[in-house]
Structure 1
Amino acid sequence: MTQNVDRETVVSRLLAADDILILCHKNPDGDTIGSGTALCLALQQLGKNAAVLCSDPIPAMYDYMPITVFDGSFRPAFVVAVDVAGIQLFGERNNIQEYAEHVNLCIDHHGSNSGYAYETLVDAGAAASAELLTTLIPEMGAKITPEIASCLYTGVATDTGCFRFSNTTAETHKAAAALIEAGADVERLNERLFESRSHARVIAERMALESLEFYYDDRCALICLTWDQIQAAGVAGAELEDLTSLPRSIEGVEVGLTLRQQKDGSFKISVRTGHDTNACNIARRLGGGGHPRAAGCEISGNPDNAKHAILEEVKKELDRADAEKAQ
């Protein structure tokens, strides 16, 4: 059982530690990589030995980040997880499970965090873990350099869909402003993250649109990409992250589902919802979690089984929302 701690405790733990290993989640996105790299740079600035470890390769779209990848050259004495809501999200490659079972501190923004670490700081009101670290790093006595600012901006911007998603708050904009003032190259980052698509990414989107299906009087839209399609397109997993907003963007759709098959055959399912339904309710019942408007889970089995399982939970949530409105 984890001990929930406050910001002061987190700062004191990090300042007292050395030989620090920072863990990111599998299928890394901009928030886990941006947060992990920013924290690593801040700790190194304070004279500490620190490195980042991820089960999966870092996507090329984030190659501007100066990531110190853990190479086994030191024995970790303190393990920190950033943006990882559950132990199953660490993955299995790069010996990450050796450290995932003994996480000293977790810094996260998912209210569904399972409490796997010895101590946990969760701010469910933060749009991204990077938003949380934007204020934590200065509290540690480290300076937010332009490099750190660019890493943190990546996390904040990607987890908010460039400040379009409902998790964006006034505090999110304040964090972004602080990062811009600290030297984040926003024009270059926004172009890289949101305005540039590879040929492979466009091919994958076309395949996804060809799979588009509607359910429950068109209130739910679903797209699906198999592993063979992803391989045929030659697209990296990180490039597919923004596909998750596509089904929900269709007029009249309350619940948008994106199913992406993984190499092991399981399906990573992203759930996006409108104001009347709760994405986390849908994902949690299948062992996942997330936020009220954006959540996810993983399901084993073939495409039909995965669709059936998630659609059953969608119907329950739509029925719940309808019952509430009828009261």
Structure 2
Amino acid sequence: MDAVCNGPELQYREKIRAVADALRAHKGPIFVVSHVDPDGDAIGSSLGLYRALRALGKEAFWIAEPPRYLRFLVREEEYTGPLERLPEGALLVVLDAAEPGRVAGAPVEGFVVNIDHHGTNPRFGCLAVVDPSKAATAQMVKDLVDALGVVWTPEIATPVLTGIITDTGNFRFANTTPEVLHTAAELVGYGVPLAELTDRLQWRPASYFRALGAVLSTVAFHFGGLLVTAHLPPGVQVEDSDDFVGLIRYAEGSQIAVFLREREEGIKLSIRSRGGVSAQAVAVSLGGGGHVPAAGATLRGVGLEEAYQRVLAAVEEELRRTGYL
């Protein structure tokens, strides 16, 4: 393992094969985790790899807390609770986590495999496969499962395809390349019920729709409509609110959308952009990260009013950089 950990820089396919070799050779337990507040890619990529490792006969464990709209993918017996320490001889696979501080469920220690598609990832771990050209970490997991030689089943392919669908916005975002569509077609060919899956991914509880009305009442336009914002009003309860930024981003003429919601740790920002405007640049300036079209950050120790002021300042700077102002 140390030889792999300290090995030379490899190309993407070589790195994927190196990870597959390490996973096949490992004799102890393998724990699969992702990031805090997991989305479709985090859950889909980690659950798909966990099932593939189990099919390979490995002593694998999946640690995750999927949001309500994704729980239909999971069987109760597949959950493992969070760990404060990893057992001796364990291998940790971290998926879709842009930095060690965002890893949820287990400490980042021992032999760590880091697979991710966020360009801001610092390449932590003994084996790091980071490729921002990939639309989703699940797309990379597809390549890894192929390299492992596991026989594809609908149970493995469904969560992997879920990760691709959600991170491409149902194949509407600019990251939907021919390679992505080819990968998705392969996964559908393994028995994924595509129409059923895409329909099920849109189900939301009644509380979501009540909260949606409250959120839409906060929609505001700035810089002549280039920026659209909204927030979750205090006291409004909803379990899954990640969709809201995706709704307001379709305001005509907008180049960037920001959705704010108060959490225990601070004001969480979800940011989406188009037209050459970088959501990533805005997020990084606010202490967060992500992709150019989709990013996020958390503002700690501030209220909603100050959070808005910081967002407006950061977005104004990005709009000026890109020539919109």
**TM-score, scaled relative to structure 1:** 0.88
Aligned position for 1:197: 204
1:14 aligns to 2:23 (yes or no): yes
Q: Which residue does the alignment assign to 1:165?
A: 173
Within 1, Cα distance between the matches of 2:111 and 2:279?
27
Distance between the aligned counterparts of 2:21 and 2:235, measured in 1?
48
Q: Which runs of 5+ in 1 are unaligned?
A: none
In the aligned structure 1, how far is the partner of 2:49 from the partner of 2:136? 14
- Kindly indicate whether the alpha-carbon contact (under 8 Å) linking 1:208 and 1:223 is maintained by their aligned counterparts in 2: yes
- 1:167 CA displacement: 1.5
For residues 297-308 of structure 1, the aligned pairs below 5 Å read: 297-300=297-300, 301-308=302-309
Residue 102 of structure 1 and its aligned partner are, at CA, apart by 4.6
Tell me if the contact between 2:17 and 2:144 (Cα under 8 Å) persists in the aligned partners.
Answer: no
What count of residue pairs does the alignment treat as equivalent? 310
Aligned to 1:50: 60
State the Cα deviation string for residues 7-40 of structure 1 (Å, max 9, x = none).
2221112112230011121112111111111111
Which is further off, 151-160 or 114-123? 114-123
Looking at structure 2, the residues matched to 322 and 130 of structure 1 have their Cα atoms a distance apart, in angstroms, of 35
In 2, distance between residues paired with 1:88 and 1:20?
20
Which residue is equivalent to 2:262? 261
Question: C-alpha displacement at 1:114, in angstroms?
Answer: 2.8
Question: Deviation digits for residues 106-139 of structure 1, max 9, x if unmatched?
Answer: 1111111133323310121111111111121011
TM-score (norm 2): 0.88
Residue 61 of structure 1 aligns with which residue?
Answer: 70
Q: Matched residues in 2 for 1:295 and 1:8: separation?
A: 29
Output the CA distance in 1 between the equivalents of 2:142 and 2:265.
Answer: 37
Aligned to 2:317: 316
Q: 1:125 to 1:2 in 2, by over 3 A?
A: farther
1:274 aligns with 2:281: no
CA deviation map 1:60-88 (0-9, x unaligned): 5322334722257x836100101111123
Moved over 3 A (4+): 1-5
RMSD: 2.3
Alpha-carbon distance change, 57 to 148 in structure 1, aligned in 2, over 3 angstroms: closer
Answer whether contact 1:227 1:265 (CA < 8 A) is retained.
no
- Among the aligned pairs, what percent are the same residue? 31
Report the equivalent of 1:212. 219
1:192 corresponds to which letter in structure 2?
Answer: R
- Counterpart among 177, 182, 192 of residue 184 in structure 1: 192
Stretches of structure 2 that go unaligned for 5 or more consecutive residues are none
Report the counterpart of residue 236 of structure 1 in structure 2. 239
Structure-1 separation of matches of 2:310 and 2:111: 32
**In the alignment, does 2:228 pair up with 1:221?**
yes
For the pair 1:105 / 2:108, whether they are aligned, the reply is: no
State how far apart, in whole Å, the 1-side matches of 2:277 and 2:176 are: 18
Matched-pair contact (CA < 8 Å) for 1:2–1:117: no
Q: Counterparts of 1:267 and 1:225 in 2: how far apart (Å)? A: 10
Aligned to 2:99: 86
CA distance in 2, matches of 1:199, 1:273: 29
Q: In the TM superposition, what whole-angstrom CA distance separates every residue of 1:248-299 from its partner, at most 9, and x where no partner exists?
A: 200011110011221x151211111112211111111222111111111111
Contact 1:30 1:62 in 2 (8 A): no
Per-residue CA distance 1:196-248 (angstroms, 9 max, x = gap): 3321111111111111111111110001114521x2xxx223xx222121222
User: Which residue does 1:128 correspond to in 2?
Assistant: 136
State the AA in 2 paired with 1:70: T
